[in-house]
Amino acid sequence: VDYGLRMPDATIHPGQGDDHQHRCLELLALYPSE
């Protein structure tokens, strides 16, 4: 299953695999909380 992530300052296009998962999780982890 391909998945991606769209955030206000960045977009990760659909893909899969360990590197892709790491990029998505890193983007989420670095996103500022309110």
Cα 34 to Cα 21: distance, rounded to the nearest angstrom: 24
Res 33: pLDDT: 85
- DSSP code of residue 34: -
Reported as a single tens digit per residue, the pLDDT across 1-34 is 999 999 999 999 999 999 999 999 999 999 988 7
Res 34: pLDDT: 77
Nearest to 18 by CA among 29, 26, 8: 26
Nearest to 32 by CA among 4, 1, 3, 9: 9
SS3 (DSSP) at 5: strand
Backbone angles phi, psi at 26, to 5 degrees: -65, -45
